[in-house]
Structure 1
């Protein structure tokens, strides 16, 4: 996983709960409390998950709550500094979500060793799509959080339902 993911998580925890909580989570994960992560550096997936689990423990939250908070922060704060132009290309959540596979591909094209999740889509009807998630990482709960974050960005009350380990249903208002 790229260091930018860990940096986003650290920024979220530090800004919302205090730097001491982030430092505590890093130490529980077996890292130095002052650990720094280069944005495009490759961070071992297992190490990232250790940090996520440590954050859950320190903040006394579930993985689902962490994924929702991360998704909202990534979309509405962190990625706006780096990738805001991708969001501005679209006027609604549905169009953005349907472009997410190509956005991931474009964003990571020049990143060495990147292995972003891939998405395919099933159009159920005008208001409902199913996003098929393909990744060796099995982080579909984070996809759910990111989708909710996209809904918040476009000020749309999306209904997001995890169907199984590789499918998410999204109902638009």
Structure 2
């Protein structure tokens, strides 16, 4: 995964639990990186190990940590490192989510070997947005958090319901977003 992902984990852990906790997370994950260059590739296994270690250090389960990470990532790490893309993505949470695929493509265009997720969208008659998530990494819990983080960014209350998940045998993950 790209360094921005690991940088976000670091910033979340340091923000929520402090620098000592981050050092413990790195140690438990077997991570010897002094810092993460946001555009470099790091092994997916390292990212997963960091998430598992963050769960252990925080006393939370991995899924909760992944959701919290997603919520933190959008209004903090991603906004800080990719401000131009955020300006172009829209002025509401709905617009931003509908442009999330384009944002991923633009943000990773110049990054060699990037494998951004792909999204298909369906707007329901009752105003909800269904997002079908396509990724070999299947980090559905992170996506739930990212969607909630978009709500935080735009000061909008969003509800996310997972209506299909590859981890439950479905062919894709589908998130249904309610805007209020």
User: Is the shorter-chain TM-score for this pair beyond 0.5, marking a shared fold?
Assistant: yes
- Structure-2 residue corresponding to 1:168: 175
- Structure-1 residue corresponding to 2:35: 36
Question: 4+ residue runs of structure 1 moved beyond 3 angstroms?
Answer: none
Following TM superposition, by how much is the alpha carbon of 1:126 offset from its aligned partner in structure 2, in angstroms?
Answer: 5.1
Following TM superposition, by how much is the alpha carbon of 1:28 offset from its aligned partner in structure 2, in angstroms?
Answer: 0.9
Contact 2:3/2:38 (CA < 8 Å) preserved in 1? yes
Q: Distance in 2 between matches of 1:152 and 1:130?
A: 19
- SS in structure 1 of the partner of residue 97 of structure 2: helix
Return the TM-score normalized by structure 2: 0.90
Return the TM-score normalized by structure 1: 0.93
Q: Distance in 2 between matches of 1:103 and 1:123?
A: 19
Contact 2:128/2:179 (CA < 8 Å) preserved in 1? yes
Q: Distance in 2 between matches of 1:113 and 1:54?
A: 26
- Structure-1 residue corresponding to 2:102: 102
Q: Which moved more, 1:143-152 or 1:86-95?
A: 86-95
Q: Deviations over 1:118-151 (max 9, x none)?
A: 1110111252011000010010110000000001
- SS in structure 2 of the partner of residue 47 of structure 1: helix
Q: Which moved more, 1:34-43 or 1:103-112?
A: 34-43
- Structure-2 residue corresponding to 1:45: 44
* Uncovered stretches (5+) of structure 2, i.e. residues with no partner: 166-172
Q: Distance in 1 between matches of 2:35 and 2:86?
A: 28
- Structure-2 residue corresponding to 1:125: 125
Q: Distance in 2 between matches of 1:54 and 1:125?
A: 42
Contact 2:156/2:179 (CA < 8 Å) preserved in 1? yes
- SS in structure 2 of the partner of residue 125 of structure 1: coil
- SS in structure 1 of the partner of residue 42 of structure 2: coil
Following TM superposition, by how much is the alpha carbon of 1:64 offset from its aligned partner in structure 2, in angstroms?
Answer: 2.8
Q: Distance in 2 between matches of 1:27 and 1:127?
A: 46
What RMSD, in angstroms, separates the aligned Cα atoms of the two structures?
1.4
* Structure 2 counterparts to residues 1-173 of structure 1, below 5 A: 1-32=1-32, 35-89=34-88, 90-125=90-125, 127-165=127-165, 166-173=173-180
